[in-house]
Amino acid sequence: MTSFQDYYASNQDRFVQEWKDFLRFKSISADEAYKADCVACAEWLERHLAGLGFQTELWPSATLPLVYGVLPGNPKKPTVLFYGHYDVQPPDPVDHWHSPPFEPTLRDGRMYARGAQDNKGQVFYFLKALEALGAAGADLPTIKVIIEGEEESGSTAIHLGLEGWAEKLKADVLMVCDTGVLSPGVPTVTMGLRGIAHFDIKVLGPKIDLHSGVYGGVVLNPLQALASVVASLHAPDGSVAVPGFYDKVKKPSAEDLAIANEAPINPVEISAALGVELTGGEHGLPATERRGFRPTLEVNGIGGGYQGAGNKTVIPSEGFAKISMRLVDGQDPEETLRLVMNHIQTLAPAGTRIETLHPVAGGPALLLSVKAPVVQSARKALLAAFGREPVYLWEGASIPIVAKLAKVSGGQPLLIGFGEEGDMIHAPNESFSLKQLEAGYRYVTSFLPVL
Ligand code: BES
Ligand code: ZN
């Protein structure tokens, strides 16, 4: 046993208690009703960092505060900036949880709570690794920390403030622990994230809901129009049917594709776990490529009209849809938003009007190189810590601010996280295993001293 494993074992009970304290905050950024809970969570984090020896600051904003800290270290070593988020997704549907989402519960070696993994659990093992490294008097680089409270809902404050904080964020390495492993027990370096942009569609028809007998066959139903607009956004071959959508898409290098295919998505395994065939996206491309290297357009919500019990014969006055796009290397979020929203504007059938609303350019894709020196240092640390080579994964999900944060801070991004498929992030009964908490701690304690 290493001294760090010893330290973990002798402090695990306290770690669990502190982790639970962190998880009890209802830091739901999507809902303003939880603003005070978010602020309290940020203050808890700030105190925690101060307890680890950090010089801390709470950066207020018009929305939610950011937590910042610096722990001065060996100036000869590259400065590390750690990014994470303290906000969580709404816990809905709450009645699907086996224990309440904000009453963290340890069952069978897993901590159940909203945020147990995404991202509080992963931030927490980073903090506990720093505690252990500090206690051991390790020769550490200067560590800076920035933890935002709006990753799950637009990253407003960090987007607006970032350039102004450039000096404070200056770093050589940008470390992020908000991703997962390919499969249990396999250390994984994430080599890419897709970007994201989203907006809403409204289709407007008559001023008010109408009797569908009196006006059926006379007034065009806005929900019928909405359905045909939404259906027209994809071609039968699964590709996005918006002219120009793929124009700026850069193809992955043959080298990246080859490495990605060494650790492919297992369609049989995933199909079995999800209870569905993997038929989404562009036909003819393997799932690994579709998820890691190709952009998509998704309908996240659609509605309008009568949704209650029984039937109601009505031509509703309007319908809505919520659309998001995952973007890849080469695609600019603002430009793609404009392209798709303008296209949709042209689709309104006579007798309806289309509005596109609430555009959010979350952030562009991020693409890293296996050859990057920081990836190679991490590879060696993972090999030493876990006794096996890591695999490299091109992720389909997004951490919207990372690309911009890398640019502004100057830090080389390093995305290594320990989430597992079964953690059910964003869903009811989110959890994170103690095993993965320890794996994350083991990675951080192995990596930081050798940087
Ligand atoms: N931690 C996730 C991103 C993630 C998920 C990375 C799974 C690797 C595997 C992050 O908190 C997240 O959920 N991002 C959102 C951003 C969106 C709300 C703007 C996403 O990807 O949907
Ligand atoms: Zn998330």
pTM as predicted: 0.96
What span, in angstroms and rounded, lies between the C-alpha atoms of 147 and 67?
A: 5
Which one-letter amino acid corresponds to residue 204? Answer: L
Our answer on whether the CB atom of 399 is closer than 6 Å to any ligand 1 atom is yes
Our answer on whether the CB atom of 155 is closer than 6 Å to any ligand 1 atom is no
CA of 208 to the centre of ligand 2 (A): 38
pLDDT bracket for residue 266 (50, 70, 90): confident
Mutational test site, ligand 1, from 148, 190, 425, max ligand atoms within 8 Å of CB: 425
- The answer to whether residues 426 and 118 touch, using CB atoms and an 8 Å cutoff, is yes
- The answer to whether residues 67 and 58 touch, using CB atoms and an 8 Å cutoff, is yes
| Tokens encoding 201 | 């569609």
> Which candidate, 413, 418, 351, places its Cα nearest to that of 173?
413
> Which candidate, 340, 186, 191, 319, places its Cα nearest to that of 257?
191
pLDDT at 135: 97
Our answer on whether the CB atom of 364 is closer than 6 Å to any ligand 1 atom is no
Q: Give the model confidence (pLDDT) of 276-290 as tens digits.
A: 999 999 999 999 999
Mutational test site, ligand 1, from 178, 405, 415, 418, max ligand atoms within 8 Å of CB: 178
- The answer to whether residues 179 and 151 touch, using CB atoms and an 8 Å cutoff, is no
Our answer on whether the CB atom of 393 is closer than 6 Å to any ligand 1 atom is no
What span, in angstroms and rounded, lies between the C-alpha atoms of 139 and 135?
A: 11
What span, in angstroms and rounded, lies between the C-alpha atoms of 244 and 336?
A: 9
Our answer on whether the CB atom of 239 is closer than 6 Å to any ligand 1 atom is no
| Tokens encoding 55 | 């010089």
pLDDT at 80: 98
Query: In this model, does residue 1 exceed pLDDT 80?
Result: no
> Which candidate, 21, 103, 113, places its Cα nearest to that of 424?
113
Q: Which ligand is nearest to the CA of 179?
A: 1
Our answer on whether the CB atom of 180 is closer than 6 Å to any ligand 1 atom is yes
pLDDT at 2: 78
Average pLDDT over every residue of 71-75:
98
Query: Lowest-pLDDT range, 245-249, 262-266, 403-407, 428-432?
Result: 262-266
DSSP 422-441: GG-TTSTT-EEEHHHHHHHH
Q: Are strands 412-416 and 173-176 parallel, antiparallel or unpaired?
A: parallel
